[in-house]
Amino acid sequence: MRNAAVFPGQGSQVRGMGRSLGERSAEAREVFDTASAVLGWDLWDLCTRGPAGELSDTSRSQPAIFTVSHIMFRLLADHGWQPDLVTGHSLGEFTAAVAAGALSFQDGLRTVAERGRFMARAAARNPGAMLALLGVRCEELPRALADLGRLGMIAPANYNCPGQVVVALERKVLEAAKRELAPLAKRVVELPVSGGFHSPLMEEAQREFARFLAQVPIQRPRTPILLNVRLAVSYDPTEIRDGLVAQMTAPVRWEEAVQRMAALGVGTFVEVGPRDVLTGLVRRIAPQCRAVATDGRDPQEVVSELGRGDGG
């Protein structure tokens, strides 16, 4: 069976993330120091002591999640673990591109920081929000969104797993959406994000980001990447660049991505990041597969668990 590294996106941040890695690994602290020098602010302090509000800010949370996930991947590699395939959820695609060797860490971090800045600016100019629909009746959702669309922009942003869809919407539609979508789902939860991501509300940010990314060198990766927008495995730098731009306004098709990887023979999914957000989704999408979260644990413990075949 093949194994895949999957990298999380925004929303997986948590105060204190990366502390245990940095305290027991000089290599991890060196990466934090490098990241702080690239960013121009103290990433270690933000991750380990920063207020939750600041850590949830798009321009801060994206570099933080990216760096902590990258550190964990490097430490797993130091202990002998390498995936056969990589992919990521939203921001996680950039971490995956670095893990695969398509981007250097420094270029990836600069790219993520600029992406977060463009997205935050677009969110300020086009106020938006995101609602998670849990236990939603998906067959009824298109009609409901079309009806709400008369009030303003609303569109699917994440297809996370069976019965779980996230929608992005203009803030002026928020209260009506909560009211009208409630009968279709077991729960409607407003997410703690600062904009309507993966939707047309990010078109301005996408144009700015495309110009920036055009100047960033992208190499042929050592490990294949599953691109979320196309649901295709790629080694091609042009396809990777195009996919990273396209995903800014396109919905995250995570359910289909996991199904695609399982069809390609992936039997073990390893979530490389600060929490276990994707692990639960994988277990719902592909219960026949094994899903393991690194979740800030000792990398040697994770690699040993993978070698034993337990803990799925």
**Do 216 and 103 share a structural domain?**
yes
Structure tokens at 167: 């929608």
Strand 266-271 versus strand 2-7 pairing type: parallel
Q: Are 17 and 63 in a shared domain?
A: yes
Phi and psi for 189 in degrees, rounded to 5? Answer: -120, 125
Active-site option among 59, 198, 199, 234: 198
Looking up residue 261, the CATH number of its domain turns out to be 3.40.366.10
Report residue 246 CA to chain centroid gap. Answer: 14
114 and 219 in one domain?
yes
Q: Are strands 266-271 and 290-293 parallel, antiparallel or unpaired?
A: parallel
| C-alpha to C-alpha distance for 10 and 225, rounded to whole angstroms | 19
Is 147 in the same domain as 254? Answer: no
**Which pLDDT score is estimated for 119?**
92
Quote the domain boundaries for residue 189.
128-193
For residue 159, what is the domain's CATH number?
A: 3.30.70.250
Which tens digit of pLDDT belongs to each residue from 163-220?
999 999 999 999 999 999 999 999 999 987 889 999 999 999 999 999 999 999 999 9
Residue 240 shares a structural domain with residue 143: no
For 29-58, write each residue's pLDDT tens digit.
Answer: 999 999 999 999 999 999 988 777 788 788
Task: Please give the tally of structural domains in the chain.
Answer: 2
Kindly name the residue from 59, 90, 199, 234 that is annotated as catalytic.
90
The pLDDT confidence band at residue 309, using thresholds 50, 70 and 90, is low
pLDDT at 311 > cutoff 70: no
- What distance in Å separates the CA atoms of residue 312 and residue 304, rounded to the nearest whole number? 13
End residue of a domain, out of 148, 172, 193: 193
Q: Do 215 and 113 fall within a single domain?
A: yes
> Is 246 found in the same domain as 116?
yes
Q: Choose the final residue of a domain: 149, 173, 193.
A: 193
**Could you tell me the end-to-end alpha-carbon distance of the chain, in angstroms, rounded to an integer?**
14
Residues 172 and 222 in one domain: no
Q: In the annotation, is 70 catalytic?
A: no
Last residue of a domain, one of 193, 212, 227: 193
Q: Are residues 299 and 236 in the same domain?
A: yes
251 and 156 in one domain? no
pTM of the entire predicted model? 0.95
Residues 111 and 208 in one domain: yes
Is the alpha carbon torsion for 11, 16, 21, 26 positive or negative?
positive
Query: 8-18: per-residue pLDDT in tens?
Result: 998 888 889 99
Question: What distances in angstroms separate CA 114 from CA 22, 39, 46, 211, one per listed residue?
Answer: 25, 10, 18, 11
Domain co-membership, 227 together with 304: yes
